[in-house]
Amino acid sequence: METTSNREGIFDGAWWPRSRDIASQLPRLIDALVARLGPIARIGLDASAWDDAPGHLVIGGRTVRIDWSAVDDSTMIVTRGDQDHFAFLVIPPQASAAAARAAMAMAVQDGNCTPAEQILMGGGIIPASHHRVDADMEAAPMVSPSEPALPGRHT
């Protein structure tokens, strides 16, 4: 995890979890954030990027609330206090190491104003939400469209 030296860009840091299992991936990140930023009150995540969506996790003896959204924006919001928020780019687990490193480096450049999807796709990384849609389409049964009605004919 890296955080920017100032808070003028879109992202304050970046995170590359290695799976879509939030319970196995989030504790190490929270431990690193607490060591660097102090106590974390809540985390905001994109529900489409994860297999489960628990309302909270107990990490290091503290309960961390997880707020879920369906914005598909490859970001995470870390809240330390009422008015103290940090935005992180979330790299999908399937990204290659080289692409993940390049995306994280770009996200944490001082003054970077490039949106998450542009950072990811610019590095050849398909955002997690796109993988979820592809998987859902593969699992959906094939349905043949009905024959269109001819003009002037009622079916």
How far apart, in whole angstroms, are the C-alpha atoms of residue 53 and residue 45? 9
Question: Is residue 131 in a domain?
Answer: no
Question: Is residue 150 in a domain?
Answer: no
Which among 22, 72, 87, 95 has a CA at the least distance from the CA of 52? 22
How far apart, in whole angstroms, are the C-alpha atoms of residue 65 and residue 149? 53
Q: Which pLDDT tens digit goes with each residue over 98-145?
A: 999 999 999 988 888 999 999 999 889 987 655 444 444 344 443 333
Question: Is residue 74 in a domain?
Answer: yes
Q: Name which of 6-15, 36-45, 67-76, 104-113 the model is least confident about.
A: 6-15
Helix H or strand E encompassing 86: strand 84-90
How far apart, in whole angstroms, are the C-alpha atoms of residue 129 and residue 69? 12
Question: Is residue 24 in a domain?
Answer: yes
How far apart, in whole angstroms, are the C-alpha atoms of residue 49 and residue 121? 16
Structural domains in the chain (count): 1
Q: Which pLDDT tens digit goes with each residue over 62-87?
A: 899 999 998 778 999 999 877 788 99
Question: Is residue 36 in a domain?
Answer: yes
**Single-letter amino acid, residue 98:** A
Domain range enclosing 101: 13-125
**Rg (the chain; Cα; Å):** 19
Which among 4, 5, 22 has a CA at the least distance from the CA of 13? 4
Question: Is residue 30 in a domain?
Answer: yes
Question: Is residue 114 in a domain?
Answer: yes
Pairing mode, if any, of strands 84-90 and 13-15? Answer: parallel
Residue bearing the bigger pLDDT, 38 or 8: 38
Question: Is residue 75 in a domain?
Answer: yes
**Single-letter amino acid, residue 10:** I
How far apart, in whole angstroms, are the C-alpha atoms of residue 143 and residue 41? 46
Helix H or strand E encompassing 102: helix 97-107
